[in-house]
Amino acid sequence: MDGQPIYQFIHDSLPGQARLNEPMKFHTTWRIGGPADVLVEPVNMENLRLTLDLVRKHNLPLTVIGNGSNILVRDGGIRGVVLKIGARFSKVTAENNKITAGGGTKLVRLVNVALSKGIGGFEFLAGIPGTVGGAVVMNAGVNGAAICDVLEYALLIDLSGETIMRTSEELGFGYRMSNLQGASLIVLEACCLGVSGEKKDIQKRIEEILEKRKNTQPATSASAGSVFKNPPGSSAGFLIEQAGGKGLRIGDAIVSTVHSNFIVNLGKATAREVLDLIEKVKELVIQRFAIELTLEVKILGEDHVGGDIMWKGL
C-alpha cells in the first residue's frame, strides 16, 4: 500500500481526525500553504499512536505542526502526513509553582493559567501565537527570555509510540533551537517551574508586554512572527529598516511598516512571493552591512504538487 491508497486508509481509519488534500493555509498563521496529502489531528493518545504506527510501517514522510505560527508552507504543499498536535493535547495542571501543559496548549492559555495560580515567570510568553510543543522545539522567547529558562523536562513520543522524558539540559537549547529540530520526536507535554508572585503584579507585567507588542509589532496581521534571527549584537528588524527594506512589497507579501522583521500577508500572498521577498531583504542587508541574515521561520513542503520533497522533518 503506497501513495494515495495509504492516505485514504489513514483518512478512513481516523474518522473526523484526518483530512485529505488539506490546504495548509488553514493551519498556519501566515494563512499561506498548499495542500497536505493528509492532515491528521488526533483526539487521543490511542489515535496518535495509530497515526505514528502507520507512518512508521509505510515509511511515510512526516511533518509535525502545532499552531503553525513559525512556518512557511510552500505553494505545492506537503507530501506525506502532517500531524497537528492541537486542542486535544492541551491539558494544563498547576501545583507548587509547577505547570504541566500538553504539547498542543496555546501559550496564551499557559500564561493565563500561571496568572490564575499566582505563578510568575511566564509573562514573557504573552502574545506569542504558538503552542507549548512548538515553543519547546524552537526554544521560543523574546527579549532575552526563552522557554528553556522555565522548562524542567519534556515528555516526548517517538515513531514507535514509546514515551521518553528529557530534561531541559538534555534538549540542547540554544538561540531559537533545540536538538528536537529534525528529530523523530514529538512533544507530548512540558513541565515548567515558575515563581510565586502577586496576581496583580503578574497581570501588570503581562499587560505591559502585550501593550508593547501591540505598539511595535503587526499583531493583528497575518504573519509568522519574526522572519529572521537576530544577528549577534544587533537586531534583524533594525538592519532591514536601515537597509531600506521596510515596506518592501512583492505581490501581497509586504515587509511590515510596524516591525521590519515581520512579513505580512495582505490577503492573497503566495509562498513564492514571501520567499522572493525574503531573498530581496537578505540581499539588501548584505549590500548595506555585509551581514547574512538567518531564517527563524521554517520552510516546509515543495514548490509544486508532485515534485521532489524540499524539506522533511519535525
Task: Give the active site residue among 69, 90, 223, 226.
Answer: 226
Write out the three cell numbers for 242. Answer: 536601515
Cβ(51)–Cβ(43) under 8 Å? no
- In sequence order, the 6+-apart residues with CB closer than 8 A to the CB of 304 are 75, 76
Start-to-end C-alpha separation, the chain: 24
Write out the three cell numbers for 278. Answer: 525574503
From residue 113, alpha-carbon distances to 99, 105, 178, 232, 303 in Å are 8, 11, 25, 34, 40
296 belongs to the catalytic site: yes
CA atoms of 68 and 24, how far apart (whole Å) = 9
**Element holding 87 (H helix, E strand):** none
Amino acid in the structure at residue 32: I
Task: Give the active site residue among 123, 176, 223, 273.
Answer: 176
176 belongs to the catalytic site: yes
Write out the three cell numbers for 277. Answer: 521577498
CA atoms of 249 and 169, how far apart (whole Å) = 42
Q: How many residues does the chain have?
A: 314
CA atoms of 149 and 121, how far apart (whole Å) = 9
226 belongs to the catalytic site: yes
Pairing of strands 98-102, 185-193: antiparallel
CA atoms of 91 and 22, how far apart (whole Å) = 26
Task: Give the active site residue among 123, 189, 273, 296.
Answer: 296
Positions marked active-site: 176, 226, 296
